[in-house]
Chains A and B, each alone.
Chain A
């Protein structure tokens, strides 16, 4: 069964450093998402991406964040200058568009980001 993959599984970085989190969505999916989950809290939406552009973003997704689909398979989240409060689990998800999206969003295993 196709699945979403994410690398790395765990990233440790120093405050102020740039990090890039990578995701490979399910191949026939057209919508891509990033969510984050601070330890012990609920999952929060960051951004959605469709047709090579951001379709929606939350207030969390400020200028420090960017997303890119550099080739036909990868989908990346970049945090330009990490802060302590960026420490969280970051989930990538993908889905089919429109009505087909009723089948749900499929999540990757997550990248645990620790900012020291």
Chain B
């Protein structure tokens, strides 16, 4: 079974600074997708960024980018120019991609990000 580990329960960053959230995962599959979701205090789950495992190029979405290291099974999220609205729980998630594979998302325990003004 796949597992996702987020080793930082809490992180903080100064407004306008850069912060990196860590995520590692364990799988025997070669084909999969990885996601970062944001959960603000409203508790809505918002998709931030996604990465296909077969792509070597790291995904970017505006101020959000990932560092995907397939061999190390690492998928960190970098938030540049942090804003107060970035304060939230961030969840890393894994999904199989192979034929007949599970469609479910496997989540890590989350990292609570605080942005200090």
Residues on A facing B (Cβ under 8 Å): 31, 33, 35, 37, 41-45, 48, 50, 55-56, 58, 89, 91, 93, 95, 97, 99, 101-110, 112
Q: Give Cα A110–Cα B46 distance, bound, in whole angstroms.
A: 12
Q: Is the Cβ of A110 less than 8 Å from the Cβ of B103?
A: no
Q: Is the Cβ of A56 less than 8 Å from the Cβ of B104?
A: yes
Collect the chain A residues with CB atoms within 8 Å of residue B97's CB.
Answer: 99, 101-102
Q: Is the Cβ of A102 less than 8 Å from the Cβ of B33?
A: yes
Give the interface centre of B37, B44, B102, B104 by most chain A CB atoms within 10 Å.
B104
Q: Give Cα A110–Cα B97 distance, bound, in whole angstroms.
A: 26
Collect the chain A residues with CB atoms within 8 Å of residue B50's CB.
Answer: 102-104
Q: Which residue of B lies closest to A91 (CB)?
A: B45
Q: Is the Cβ of B44 less than 8 Å from the Cβ of A45?
A: no
Residues on B facing A (Cβ under 8 Å): 33, 35, 37, 42-47, 50, 52, 91, 93, 95, 97, 102-110
Given contacts A91-B45, A110-B43, A110-B45, 15 further A-B contacts (CB under 8 A): A33-B103, A35-B105, A42-B109, A43-B105, A44-B107, A45-B104, A55-B103, A58-B104, A97-B103, A99-B97, A101-B95, A102-B97, A105-B105, A106-B47, A107-B45
